[in-house]
Structure 1
Amino acid sequence: MHAFTEKDLRASFVNASLRERNALVVPDLAHVAWEDLDYFGWRDPKQPLAGFIVVPVDDAPVGILLRRTEQRTRARAQCSWCEDVTLPNDVVLFGAKRAGKAGRNGDTVGTLLCENFECSANARRPMPPAYLGFDVQAARQRRIEALRAHADGFAREIRDSA
């Protein structure tokens, strides 16, 4: 993923109003390791139920405003994007309004995601070999590609509903 500026991030949100985009608290981008990310996500401590992600789709940023559900799941959930089975962090249900008229009419899409958007780190974490001759690097690359495909698909679903 290539680096984005604060202006790029604010302008990229497809399911947020102008007021919501202007009120965004964007984290410090100077220390972001963009090359290790498949999407950029952050949480605003002032808005504990809000989440913000920016996914590169066709080399253009697609920003999505997410709302976390207040209710926790009964069983420990698995992230739909990184599909990490070791569950190193909490996974929660996020909902996102679709872009355009569909979103204004209340149409939403939900997904299970790592609570603090650790998917890129989870996909890159070395995994133990499953069997003799297991190609750890190839498996890691498949996980990264799957994460990118899940993020891209979700972003397109939100964006293209306008």
Structure 2
Amino acid sequence: MRPLSEQDIRNSFVNCSKGEAKRLSIPRDLGERPWDDLDFLGWRDPGAPDRSYLVTEQPDRLVGVALRFPSSQRGFLHRSMCSLCLTTHPGSGVSLMTARKAGAAGREGNSVGVYMCTDLACSLYVRGKKVPEAGLRFEESLSMQEQIDRMVANLSSFLGKLHV
């Protein structure tokens, strides 16, 4: 992924108003992100524990999505798998992230959900750059590039449901 500026990020959001995009919290460490290892930029809002954001490059533009997730914790013995990168995590390491649909459907309250790594580090897990805490990645016969392609396809499928 190419490095993004704050303005790139704010202009990319498709499921919130321009005012909401202007007010949301942007990561302060954009210059330190491992851009070459990212397929999307994902971060949690430090001021709103139930909100996170995701920005990815699509063929014709950047697409940013505001996400919500429950703040309730699951027991440590409960394991869940991320639908994007297929990494398993205990407890609250995977959350149901919901996004309001773009356009009129979103204004009517319609949303779409996907189970994702709560820390939004899917790209790093697939590349082995980050190890899930007490979680695991299954040994696969797919190459790393095939796993990355699958994760990107899973993300594109989710974004397609938002009518992006």
Superposition TM-score tier, normalisation by shorter sequence: 0.7 to 0.9
Unaligned runs of 5+ in 1: none
Deviation digits for residues 48-80 of structure 1 (CA, Å, limit 9, x no counterpart): 100000011115210000001234457321000
Aligned partner letter, 2:148: I
Give the number of equivalent residue pairs. 153
Gap change, CA 1:104 and 1:145, over 3 Å in 2: same
Q: What is the DSSP-based 3-state SS (H/G/I as helix, E as strand, rest coil) of the residue aligned with 2:80? A: coil
Amino acid at match of 2:101: R
Root-mean-square deviation (CA, aligned residues, Å) is 2.2
Q: 1:128 deviation in Å?
A: 8.3
- Amino acid aligned to 1:45: P
Counterpart-to-counterpart distance in 2, 1:59 and 1:9: 15
Letter of the structure 2 residue corresponding to residue 77 of structure 1: S
The equivalent residue for 2:162 is 158
Report how far residue 129 of structure 1 moved: 6.4
Which range is displaced more, 57-66 or 150-159? 150-159
Which of 122, 125, 129 is residue 125 of structure 2 equivalent to? 122
Q: Larger C-alpha radius of gyration, 1 or 2?
A: 1
Counterpart position of 1:43? 44
Of structures 1 and 2, the one scoring higher in RCO (CA 8 A, sep 6+) is: 1
Structure 1 residue ranges (4+ consecutive) displaced by more than 6 angstroms after TM superposition: 126-130
- Superimposed CA distance per residue, residues 72-93 of structure 1 (whole angstroms, 9 cap, x where no aligned partner): 45732100000024x3781111
Q: Give per-residue Cα distances to partners, 1:104-143, cap 9 Å, x unaligned.
A: 011100111111111011111187867xxx6xxx522211
What aligned pairs does 1:65-104 form with structure 2 within 5 A after superposition?
A: 65-72=66-73, 75-85=78-88, 87=89, 90-104=93-107
Alignment correspondent of 1:16? 16
Question: Identity over aligned residues, as a percent?
Answer: 35
Q: Is the 8 A contact 2:52 2:66 kept in 1?
A: yes
- In structure 1, C-alpha distance between the alignment counterparts of 2:154 and 2:138, rounded to whole Å: 23
